[in-house]
Structure 1
Amino acid sequence: MSVAADSIPDRQRIIWDQFAAGWKKWDAELLDWRAPFGDAVIQDARLHPDSIVLDVASGTGEPGLTAAALVPDGEVVLTDISAGMLHVAEEKASTRGLANVSFTACDAAELPFDDATFDAVLCRFGFNYFPDIRSAVREMVRTAKPGARISAAVWGRTAENPWATLVLGTLAQHTELPHPPGVMPGLFRCSTPGFMTRLFRDAGLVDVAERKVSTDLVHDSPESYWEFITDIAITVATGLAKADKEARSLIRSDVFQLLGRYEHQGALRLRSTATIVAGTRA
């Protein structure tokens, strides 16, 4: 890994810590929107009441906290590179009365757990941001027991995700957004059909399959969508920070105009599509 790549986790810790407050603010909306993806990851993990589960890149707690309620005789370990995001998850676990969860701030490429520890490993939207995805999947396989399931979600193709591309495309017209190569962290770096299947098989997993899951991001007004996306989306916030006041006003106006295409029965509905991939440790 290059020196530049080595510095990515440190930058990610700082950035995600800064965005933890925004994710906490919009927790209810994020839970509703992303639930179908987390539910699919859990379904393909084939949990049992006594399963010992690892949730990698759990952020503010999902799908790990949902899984914890399904394994009353088991345990779920939630990990994330951001201690700030995990602190929100801890608060939510306490509110829900979940006693079978623990939290560890760590890099997905260096999981601090023994070999063959977990009955299942979950990862919802983590692979999009891992600097070294092959190291991350190797660590998941290493810490999984033989026969354990590893299940993940990644964002699908850009055309299937106007919830993000609408605003990112508008930003690109007015600002210089970074265009990292496909191997570097980014929202759609894992979106090519079959990409995750090859990654899992190369790591030695068997019985690998992938499928699509879609839902809508729903907001009642352009103002609500704009506040939401600028609070939780790092790339959007970074792009806006680079624009001057006039450009920010133009970007906002253009986004609001485009959102009119997605109004249906008094609400904005923006399609969101993920690939769910799962495999078994031989």
Structure 2
Amino acid sequence: MSVAADKIRNRQRIIWDKFAAGWKKWDAELLDWQRPFGAAVIQGAGLRLDSTVLDVASGTGEPGLTAAALVPGGGVELTDISAGMLQVAQEKASTLGMGNVRFRVCDAAELPFDDGTFDAVLCCFGLMFFPDMRAALREMVRTAKPGARISAAVWGRAAANPWASLVLGTLAQHTELPAPPADMPGLFRCSAPGFMTRLFRGVGLLAVQERTVSTDLVHDSPASYWEFMTDIATTVATGLALADEEARSLIRSDVFQMLGRYEHGGLLRLRSTATIVTGIRA
């Protein structure tokens, strides 16, 4: 494990712990918005009633908790680098009375499980943030049983995701927020056509397939959208922290103005598009 990767992981751990409260606050809205993506990842995993499942980068619990309800005779291990995010998942599982879930704070590139443990591995919007995606994916393959499916979601192109690109583009105009290098963690790092297929095939996965899933992020006002993004989007908060008070005011004003083009029937509807990729462990 490189020193640079360690630094990135430590910084990510701190940031995601900090943002756990925001994700808890907006849990219902996040679930409604991202449900189609989680459902697609689960569908790609081919779960049985007795499947043992690993959910990598589970955050506040999805799609792992949804998967757990589908495997009453099996179980799900939910893992994340952030103890704060995983604590929210544990609270939700306790409220739901779920007895077939376990939680483990760990790094995706060093999974604490034996070889060939799981019937399916899920990873929803985690891969693009891993410092070493191949190392993490190799760990998912290692811990999967022969014939197990690995199913993941990553964000598609920025142009197909105005829910994020609108505010990030505005930030870039008013701050010196640098664009991450192609090989560094970032929201749209895995968005190039065929990128995920090449990544999955590169670690030996078979029958790799990609498909696109889209939905809308819906808010009832620009103020609600702004609050949501500043509470849950780490890149947005980082950019705003680099701006002075005048620049932050301009950014907010510009975002509110541009949101007008996404108003339909009294609601804001911002397109959100993900690539779903699946592969089978040899």
**TM over 0.5, yes or no?**
yes
The SS at the match of 1:270 is strand
Question: Could you report, residue by residue, the CA deviation over 1:226-251 in whole angstroms, capped at 9, with x for unpaired residues?
Answer: 00000000010011111111111000
Match of 1:221 in 2: 221
* Structure 1 residues 88-167: aligned runs within 5 Å: 88-167=88-167
CA distance in 1, matches of 2:128, 2:149: 20
CA distance in 2, matches of 1:10, 1:244: 27
Match of 2:237 in 1: 237
CA distance in 1, matches of 2:11, 2:175: 22
The SS at the match of 2:177 is coil
Unaligned runs of 5+ in 1: none
Match of 1:18 in 2: 18
CA distance in 1, matches of 2:183, 2:6: 14
What is the CA-CA distance between 1:51 and the residue it aligns to? 0.1
Instruction: Report the residue type matching 2:9 in the other structure.
Output: P
Q: CA RMSD in A?
A: 0.7
The SS at the match of 2:43 is helix
The SS at the match of 2:39 is helix
Match of 1:56 in 2: 56
Residue 258, structure 1, aligned to residue 236, structure 2 = no
Aligned residues: 282
Match of 2:71 in 1: 71
What is the CA-CA distance between 1:99 and the residue it aligns to? 0.5
Match of 1:85 in 2: 85
Provide the identity percentage: 81
What is the CA-CA distance between 1:193 and the residue it aligns to? 1.1
CA distance in 2, matches of 1:4, 1:107: 15
TM-score (norm 1): 0.99
Match of 2:174 in 1: 174
What is the CA-CA distance between 1:4 and the residue it aligns to? 2.4
What is the CA-CA distance between 1:26 and the residue it aligns to? 0.2
Question: Could you report, residue by residue, the CA deviation over 1:58-79 in whole angstroms, capped at 9, with x for unpaired residues?
Answer: 0000000000000000000000
Match of 2:30 in 1: 30
Instruction: Report the residue type matching 1:64 in the other structure.
Output: G
What is the CA-CA distance between 1:6 and the residue it aligns to? 2.5
Instruction: Report the residue type matching 1:47 in the other structure.
Output: L
CA distance in 2, matches of 1:265, 1:194: 36
TM-score (norm 2): 0.99
Instruction: Report the residue type matching 1:260 in the other structure.
Output: G
CA distance in 2, matches of 1:5, 1:43: 32
What is the CA-CA distance between 1:180 and the residue it aligns to? 1.5
Question: Could you report, residue by residue, the CA deviation over 1:199-254 in whole angstroms, capped at 9, with x for unpaired residues?
Answer: 11110100100000000000000000000000000010011111111111000000
Question: Could you report, residue by residue, the CA deviation over 1:149-185 in whole angstroms, capped at 9, with x for unpaired residues?
Answer: 0000000001100000000000000001122211110
Instruction: Report the residue type matching 1:115 in the other structure.
Output: D
